[in-house]
């Protein structure tokens, strides 16, 4: 009959002595104690057998990038994501951890479903996603999304002028809503005008659709113009500290670098937008608006490709707001990585464009002269 472990036994029990006894016992036998792996036996055939046989097309379909770019990504994140085996647990390999995170970002699937697919626990999937996004914020975002230098601004302006005929234009700005579950605190702040909870991603792209400035995490109830004013971009640009001092005569007006926005944004010397259609637009206004809108579509396409490639940004995200923000920034960096590496994009992934806001709220009008000069330039 098994003896009951009494309180006196536990008082006299010494874990260190027990470990010393085990170490002595196994050394007398001339062997080392084998590590005890605490892990459930899960099916991993999909990852270990099916994935290695993927073609290039299958890699892009499942992970939104080629195997070459995936390997490059693993090497970039290795310093922050690689783990070592312990006595009691064999770590998940780096490539598998990255693949789990990419699957979550590309599909927006539930943790449980991803765990069944890769043969890991739901907790492991969550940990892989968090670690991946934290590593991407530390290593990818600063490298792939950063303010251009003087030479890069000049190249961006030249590209936009060659393609759309707009001198001094270095990009376009827009906002996009990322759906989330209602947070427990201040949930009304995240309820947007479309009738659901979200956080806002403000992005600025160049003529090729690459993000060079992003600002994410603001509650969905805020107006796009308000989000802009809360960003560092507004503070620096309005003080004249963001764009390099490079001016050019445009329609009789000395103009520096500027971005394009829709009617939701305030008119500034560095932020131009179309003339509001009040039914009294002249032919010159129409030409100006047509050129501005045709060039500004690049940011709408960039958001469409971003959400099309990383579907977690389209579905209601069940993660906490802090992690959702990290996922958004990570997806923007991955967008730039895939676009710069020339990764294939399936038009079937496209996300529907969001309707814009008609007018700005409490807008300041400081770029009227530059807008008038650009209108004259486009009509000559």
- Taken in order of first residue, the domains within the chain and their CATH numbers are 45-141 (1.10.472), 147-378 (no CATH)
Residue 118 CA to residue 107 CA, distance in Å, equals 14
Residue 90 CA to residue 41 CA, distance in Å, equals 12
For residue 42, the model assigns a pLDDT of: 64
For residue 365, the model assigns a pLDDT of: 67
For residue 306, the model assigns a pLDDT of: 97
DSSP label of 145: S
Beta strands in 180-294 (DSSP E): 198-205, 211-219, 248-250, 253-255, 258-260, 271-272
CA Rg value for the chain: 27
Residue 344 CA to residue 333 CA, distance in Å, equals 17
For residue 90, the model assigns a pLDDT of: 74
- The residue to which tokens 């890769």 are assigned: 118
Q: Which residue from 254, 291, 330, 302 is spatially nearest to 76, judged by alpha carbons?
A: 330
For residue 83, the model assigns a pLDDT of: 80
Beta strands in 220-349 (DSSP E): 248-250, 253-255, 258-260, 271-272
Under 8 Å CB-to-CB from 17, ≥6 apart: which residues? none
For residue 2, the model assigns a pLDDT of: 46
CA 187 vs. chain centroid, Å, equals 23
β-sheet bridge partners, residue 211: 205
For the chain (380 residues), the mean pLDDT of every run of 10, in chain order, is 50 51 49 49 79 94 95 96 74 93 95 93 94 96 95 97 96 96 90 94 97 96 96 94 92 95 95 91 94 95 96 90 96 97 90 52 71 90
In this structure, what are the phi and psi dihedrals at residue 255, rounded to the nearest 5 degrees?
Answer: -120, 140
For residue 41, the model assigns a pLDDT of: 55
């Amino acid at each position: 009959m098994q003896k009951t472990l009494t309180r006196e036994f536990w008082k006299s029990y010494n874990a260190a002595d027990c470990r010393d006894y085990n170490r002595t016992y196994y050394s007398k036998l001339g062997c080392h104690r084998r590590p005890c792996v605490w892990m459930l036996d899960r099916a991993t055939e999909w990852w270990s057998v099916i994935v290695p046989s993927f073609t290039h097309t299958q890699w892009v379909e499942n992970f939104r990038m080629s195997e070459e770019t995936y390997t490059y990504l693993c090497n970039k994140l290795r310093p922050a994501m690689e783990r070592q085996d312990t006595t009691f647990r064999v770590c998940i390999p780096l490539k598998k951890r990255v693949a789990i995170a990419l699957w979550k970002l590309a599909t927006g699937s539930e943790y449980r479903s991803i765990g069944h697919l890769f043969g890991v626990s739901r907790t492991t999937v969550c940990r892989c996603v968090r670690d991946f996004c934290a590593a991407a914020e530390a290593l990818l975002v600063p490298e792939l999304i950063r303010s251009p230098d003087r030479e890069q601004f000049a190249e961006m302006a030249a590209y936009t002028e060659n393609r759309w005929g707009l001198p001094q234009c270095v990009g376009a700005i827009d906002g996009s809503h990322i759906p989330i579950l209602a947070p427990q605190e201040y949930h009304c702040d995240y309820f947007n005008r479309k009738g659901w909870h979200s956080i806002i991603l403000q992005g600025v792209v160049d003529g090729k659709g690459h993000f060079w400035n992003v600002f994410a995490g603001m509650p969905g109830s805020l107006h796009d113009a308000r989000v802009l004013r809360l960003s560092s971009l507004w503070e620096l640009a309005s003080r004249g500290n963001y764009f390099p001092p490079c001016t050019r005569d445009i329609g009789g007006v000395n103009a520096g670098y500027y971005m394009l926005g829709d009617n939701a944004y305030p008119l500034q010397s560095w932020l131009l937008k179309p003339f509001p259609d009040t039914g009294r637009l002249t032919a010159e206004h129409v030409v100006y608006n047509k050129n501005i809108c045709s060039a500004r579509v690049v940011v709408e396409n960039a958001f469409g490709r971003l959400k099309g490639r990383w579907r977690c940004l389209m579905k209601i995200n069940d993660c906490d707001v802090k992690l959702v923000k990290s996922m958004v920034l990570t997806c923007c960096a991955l967008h730039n990585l895939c676009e710069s590496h020339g990764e294939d994009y399936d038009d079937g992934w496209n996300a529907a464009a969001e309707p814009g806001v008609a007018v700005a709220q409490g807008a300041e009008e400081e770029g009227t002269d530059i807008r008038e000069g650009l209108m004259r330039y486009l009509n000559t």
